[in-house]
Amino acid sequence: MTAWFRSLRGRITLVTVSVAVLAVLITGAVSVQLVRQSTISQGRAQLAAQAQLLSKLPAATDLTSLRERVRLALGDSRVAVVAADGRVSGPGAAFVTPADVSTLLSGQPVSQTESRRGKTMVVEGRPTDSGTAIVLVRSLGNLETTTAGTVQRMFVALAIGVVMAIVAGTLLARWLTRPLIATVETARRMAAGERGLAMEAHQPTEVAAVAEALATLDRALSTSEGRQREFLLSISHELRTPLTAVRGYGEAMVDGLIHEEDIARVGATLVTETGRLDRFVADLLELARLEADDFAVIRQPVDVALILEQTADAWRGRAATLEVTVTALPGTAGLAALALESDAQRVRQLIDGLVENALRVTPAGSTVSIAARTLGTAVVIEVRDGGPGLSPGDLAVAFDRGALRARYRDIRPVGTGLGLSIAARLVARLGGSIAAGNAPGGGAVFTVSLPAA
């Protein structure tokens, strides 16, 4: 019961009923007074009318006859007769004052209230044409007694009104709180992880505002969680790239494919790849601290030729196990003179993703080549594979997440379906563009254009 009173529904019901009861009490008190005054006024008017009628009768001084007439007409009234010499006789004589006698004998009516022996009486006197006067006296208590039945019926009606107010208040509270309860339930479902929940329409303005705020929060949470999910998928995918390079060189060393004179170069490559792993872990830490939910870009001068050479070195170990050659085409050294302002880590990440995709479709004995050139104020990087190339349908969806994977997963080796979509997003973050096509000699070519500054 305490919980019910603390609820909004209980409070609305309590307030509604309290207001109804207060209104009934005030209405009842005012109505009782109005009924009382009205009854007294009507009784006084009736008494005055009867006194006026009796004063016109021929036998106005016959006390016995007058008493009988008053008894028949009014029942509980007393009568008094004022003689011409001022004498007052009859049951009501005790309530007729000398002042009343003087007024009546002077030909003026008397209409007043007198108190005698703890009783309050209504006095109505009228002079007769014979020089006498007729006085009727009626107890005020008797007049008020007649109002008891009316007041009782009135309070019955008011009690029915209170009951109806309780029922109406309960229904009103239920109607007002129903959309709020629905909104609370929606909020609880959101807290449990559900998204895209529909809000109830046709609500009160205030509750509708709360529902709209929850809908806005729902959309914001969906967007934020979607971006975080995409980021985690991307990071998980990108972590595999340096791990693949480390594993490739490890397998090459186990198989005796790394010569003694190449150990220093392989060691440097492994150090570079572990540094990249550290950068990816730092990205995850940024996400955990909610400082960022997307890739950060730190712009600085970038040596494109060096990045291409490092990339080729990093993938040669893995390519050797696949009997594929990875080359950085001659002429890239001239790119060092171009001031490319970008994020070297992200450029490397971008090229790695394209090389990994190329190795997956390139058959043994073929080559994956990485080349770069200047074009106006941009640097153009191309990654070519020796695979089957891309059909017109493939070119249309090449950078859509999972599109090529869904198309070829039962035909040839495929990855997670994230690589090309991540590459497209990275290029967009770096302010460049990416395109897919087919090389003249066969195989696919992915062309990245990055602004020099």
| Nearest of 164, 161, 123, 158 to residue 143 by alpha carbon | 123
Q: Do the domain assignments include residue 154?
A: no
pLDDT at 68: 59
Q: Which of 149, 180, 211 is the last residue of a domain?
A: 149
Q: Residue 76: inside a domain, yes or no?
A: yes
* 64: containing domain: 2-149
The predicted pLDDT at position 333 comes to: 47
Residue from 143, 138, 126, 112 nearest 42 by CA? 143
Q: What is the pLDDT of residue 291?
A: 47
Residue 253 lies in a domain: yes
Task: Retrieve residue 152's tokens.
Answer: 């009782």
For residue 350, being part of any structural domain is answered with yes
In 118-183 the beta strands, taken as DSSP E runs, fall at 119-127, 133-139
Phi-psi region of 86 (alpha: psi -120 to 50; beta: other; left: phi over 0): left
| 137-142: long-range contacts, CB 8 A cutoff, minimum separation 24 | 137/77, 137/78, 137/79, 137/80, 137/91, 137/92, 137/95, 137/96, 138/43, 138/47, 138/74, 138/76, 138/77, 138/78, 139/76, 140/40, 140/113, 142/76
Considering its fold, how many domains does the chain have in total? 2
Shared-domain flag, residues 434 and 292: yes
**CA angle (369, 449, 433) in 5-degree steps:** 115
Residues of the chain where predicted confidence (pLDDT) is lower than 50: 287, 290-291, 333
Together in a domain, 238 and 143: no
pTM, two decimals, is 0.48
Q: Which of 390, 445, 446, 400 is nearest to 421 (CA)?
A: 400
* Bridge partners, 79 (sequence order): 136
Q: Residue 95 falls within a domain, yes or no?
A: yes
pLDDT value of residue 417: 66
Structure confidence at residue 324 (pLDDT)? 92
- Domain assignment present for residue 281? The answer is yes
Residue 222's pLDDT is what?
80
Sign, CA dihedral 212-214-220-223, equals: negative
* Among 269, 271, 278, 277, residue whose Cα is nearest residue 319: 269
Q: What is the pLDDT of residues 345-382, one digit of tens each?
A: 889 989 988 998 899 889 999 999 999 988 888 899 99
Indicate whether 374 belongs to any domain. yes
Q: What is the pLDDT of residue 290?
A: 45
Question: CA-CA distance, 313 to 268, in Å (whole number)?
Answer: 10
pLDDT digits (tens, 9 = 90+) for 403-420: 777 787 777 766 666 778
| Residues 286 and 414 placed together within one structural domain of the fold | yes
CATH number at residue 116: 3.30.450.20
The per-residue b/e assignment along 1-29, b for 16 or more CB within 10 angstroms, e otherwise, is: eeeeeeeebbebbeebbeebeeebeeebe
Task: Tell me the residue type at 280.
Answer: F
- Of the residues 122, 149, 176, the one at which a domain ends: 149
Instruction: Let me know if residue 339 belongs to a domain.
Output: yes
pLDDT for 326 equals 92
